[in-house]
Amino acid sequence: MKKKNMTPEELVQYQEHYSEEAFWDKVKLLAGKAGSKLIYHALVLYYTLMDPKTPMRYKAIIAGALGYFILPVDLVPDFLPFAGLADDWAALIAAVSYVVAAINPENKAKAKEKVETWFPFVKTED
């Protein structure tokens, strides 16, 4: 049974779980296990959230998606191989699709640079 993408309203409810410190802790924890694509999309959202030009309506969705990503207890526990990150991946991809208009090339470049530093043998694509 395939889970549908989360709606903006569903994503926003997790924004209370977002903090910059918790975001970086989760990224470091999952960097090797999650792979470069998941981390890239999390970083794109992070840099878009930090961008002062990003409209507040998008920031709420991004903070919600990143809050869900950070949340240690979610629909599928992260310690389960592959399946444990599927719901985190779905939340990040849903958020990217809702806020795509606010994601600019500079934010993508920052995310790409960070991922290529952490994963030097991986070529990052959007």
Mean pLDDT of the chain: 81
Whether the pLDDT of residue 3 is over 80: the answer is no
pLDDT number for residue 110:
96
Q: Can you tell me the mean pLDDT for 100-117?
A: 94
State the SS3 of the chain.
CCCCCCCHHHHHCCHHHCCHHHHHHHHHHHHHHHCHHHHHHHHHHHHHHHCCCCCHHHHHHHHHHHHHHHCCCCCCCCCCCCHHHHHHHHHHHHHHHHHHHHCCHHHHHHHHHHHHHHCCCCCCCC
Whether the pLDDT of residue 9 is over 60: the answer is yes
**0.75 cut: is pTM over it?**
no
